[in-house]
A = this chain, B = another copy of it.
Amino acid sequence: MSTPVITFLTDYGLDDAFVGICHAVIAGICPEARIIDLTHGIPRHDVRGGAVALRDAIPFAPAGVHLAVVDPDVGAARRAVAVRAGDGRLFVGPDNGLLWPAAAKFGGVVEAVDVSHSSLRLEPVSATFHGRDVFAPIAAHLAAGIALAETGDPCDPGSLVTLELPHARHTMGALEVAVLALDRFGNAQLGATHEDVAALKLGEPVGVELANGAVHQARYVWTFSDGASGELLLYEDASRSLALAVREGSAADRLQISPGDEIRLRLP
């Protein structure tokens, strides 16, 4: 049998032992599991940013158990869930929409279990660290081969919290889009794809209008090196989303934008 894989994504950061302790818990329950840390650098409590990162990373990961924790309401009434997507992948995390876009990409949720009171939790369950006490143990037991239905109380997939990412909206001569995420290089991923700017040709100028009315000139290119140093560029990023970058610089700094901001792309 092949080695079970658990991918792991959180907003825990690496400055503390949160991630390491979850690894330790998993190693204790399913020593043969291979853990792939997708990232632990999701901005604190940014459920949408975590959902986008998970959706964009999972297609490159072996099928397995996909553990994700961005959980601003830990300890409150939100449910903890384990779900199966149409293609068989298993997702474990809080029921706050975090898992939704990734599961949707793989056939949607076809089976769901409420693990909030699972007998597989570590006792005593803390009020603030469900990654350690609830989510990691469930993921590890699933990797070890327990049936999904055995991890808690089956529930209606239709009862799960959904998360719909913003789509681009065409208006007169412009495309209204949301900033989905920023990476460490200051590149801004937008809620739009190549198809939304199908008439745009490589090399053409695009006006980037911010919420405050300021307009920055960008150019539509294939890759960073098609721009001059310091030039604002619109391009298709590696997740196949439209994105803004500054060559050898930071679009986030240049435009002073944050995830969730709305901008207008003025097409030629």
Contact = CB atoms under 8 A, between A and B. Distances in A.
Interface string A121-152: 01000111100110000000000000000000
A225 B73 contact: yes
A84 interface: no
Contacts of A14: 14, 39-41
Contacts of A224: 74-75, 128
A210 interface: no
B225 A57 contact: no
Which secondary structure characterizes the binding site on chain A? loop
A57 B7 contact: no
Interface stretch (A30-38, A109-117, A166-174, A259-267): A30-38
A159 interface: no
B127 A17 contact: no
A7 B31 contact: no
A38 to B, nearest CB: 4
A36 B27 contact: yes
Interface residues of A, number: 62
Interface in A211-251: 222-226, 235-238, 240, 248
Interface string A59-73: 011100000000011
A192 to B, nearest CB: 17
A97 interface: no
A105 interface: no
A127 B236 contact: yes
A238 B185 CA distance: 30
Count chain B CB atoms within 10 A of each CB in A17, A37, A38, A236 and give the residue with the most: A17
A164 interface: no
A82 interface: no
A41 B18 CA distance: 11
A3 to B, nearest CB: 6
A27 B223 contact: no
A88 interface: no
A183 B248 contact: no
B27 A62 contact: yes
A185 B44 contact: yes
A60 B223 contact: no
Contacts of A37: 19-20, 23
Nearest to A23: B36
What are the nearest 7 A-B pairs in CB distance?
A75-B223, A129-B238, A15-B41, A76-B225, A127-B223, A20-B38, A24-B61
